Structures are given as C-alpha cells and as structure tokens.
C-alpha cells in the first residue's frame, strides 16, 4: 500500500511535470520563431520528456492502486528577452524539480514506503542528468549569444539524444 502522504505529493508532482511540459513547449516555440530549429527541437523533446515523467507517475499510482488526480497548471512564461533567457528559466526549473524529487524521496523514506522510494531513484538519476545538461547549455548559449549558428551547431552535435532509457519506469498509455 502506497503511503497516503506520498500519494498526495506525487499527485502534486504530476501537475509540476505537466507545467514543465508546457514551459518547455513555450521555450521551443520561442526558438522556432527565431528560426533556431536545433534549439526548438531540443526543447520540444524536453517537453515530451516532462510529459512522460508525469505519465510514469500516473502509471505508478495506478499500479499501486492509489488515486490519481491531475492538477491544473498555470500558464507558462512565453515572452523571453533573448536566446539566453529560456535556458536560464529551464535550469532554474530543473533545479526546482530536483528539490521536488528529493522531497518525494524523503517522504517515501519517512513513510517506509519502499516501493515508492525505489520508484523515485530513477528520477534522482534523471534530475542529475537534466541539471547537468541545462548547466552546459546555459554556458554555451551565454558564451555564444551573439552567434546563433554556434549555438545551433553545439545542440546538433551534443544533444542528439541517447535513445530510450531501458531502466525508466513504465509510462501510462504507452
């Protein structure tokens, strides 16, 4: 039986993941409008990842016979001053999500909910990767903010996607 406190927090996190999905779509659209197809594709991909994270959480709750609640989300930020701002926002978002993941893991541990704690381990690994990726991208975008072709080349070369992670939790509906 999944701890009720964990279920409540995980349902809230589902909303956070959908909000991150929306925010990354907004970032992608910003880059699409600037005719930066590599950055746009990167953020569209990030958006899909966030949606998948939410659906992994839905699947876990369904599999543990817990109630699923899909919270509403606020509108994302859609106006950005330059090519750097969306990446700064993304890094801050990933750091915030990391703290949320750590809090969920802490709750699972405090409740002795071993299945929930094990489920959260993948998300910890994922957040380390996401923060590192956004840190690197921010360094490049900041350094090359006046050379969008250099930014596009970096993303094309470095962010080509590693494919599906076979250790990832299952996704509801997949």
> What pLDDT, on a 0 to 100 scale, did the predictor assign at position 63?
97
pLDDT of residue 127: 97
Per-residue model confidence (pLDDT) at position 161: 63
Which pLDDT value is given to residue 166?
Answer: 86
Give 10-residue mean pLDDT values along the chain (174 residues). Answer: 96 98 98 98 97 98 97 96 98 98 98 97 97 98 97 92 81 86
* Per-residue three-class SS string for 80-140: CCCCCHHHHHHHHHHHHHHHHHHHHHHHHHHCCCHHHHHHHHHHHHHHHHHHHHHHHHHHH
**The whole model's pTM is what?**
0.94
Q: Which CATH number fits domain 4-70+79-158: 1.20.1260.10, 1.20.120.450, 3.30.390.50, 3.40.920.10?
A: 1.20.1260.10
Domain-wise residue ranges, the chain: 4-70+79-158
Q: How far is it, in rounded angstroms, from Cα 39 to Cα 152?
A: 6
Maximum distance among all Cα pairs of the chain, rounded to whole angstroms: 54
The per-residue pLDDT for 162 is 65
Report angle CA 156, 158, 162 to the nearest 5 degrees: 100
């Amino acid at each position: 039986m999944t701890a009720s406190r964990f279920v409540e927090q995980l349902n809230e996190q589902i909303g956070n993941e959908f909000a991150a999905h929306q925010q990354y779509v907004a970032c992608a659209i910003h880059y699409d409008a600037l005719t930066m197809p590599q950055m746009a594709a990167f953020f569209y991909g990030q958006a899909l990842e966030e949606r998948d994270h939410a659906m992994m959480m839905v699947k876990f709750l369904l599999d543990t016979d817990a109630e699923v609640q899909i919270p509403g989300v606020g509108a994302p930020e859609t106006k950005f001053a330059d090519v750097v701002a969306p990446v700064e926002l993304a890094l801050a978002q990933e750091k915030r999500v990391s703290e949320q993941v750590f809090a969920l893991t802490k709750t699972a541990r405090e409740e002795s909910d071993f299945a929930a704690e094990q489920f959260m381990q993948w998300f910890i690994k994922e957040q380390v990767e996401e923060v590192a990726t956004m840190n690197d991208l921010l360094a490049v975008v900041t350094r090359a903010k006046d050379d969008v072709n250099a930014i596009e080349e970096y993303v094309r070369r470095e962010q080509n996607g590693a494919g599906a992670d076979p250790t990832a939790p299952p996704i509801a509906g997949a």
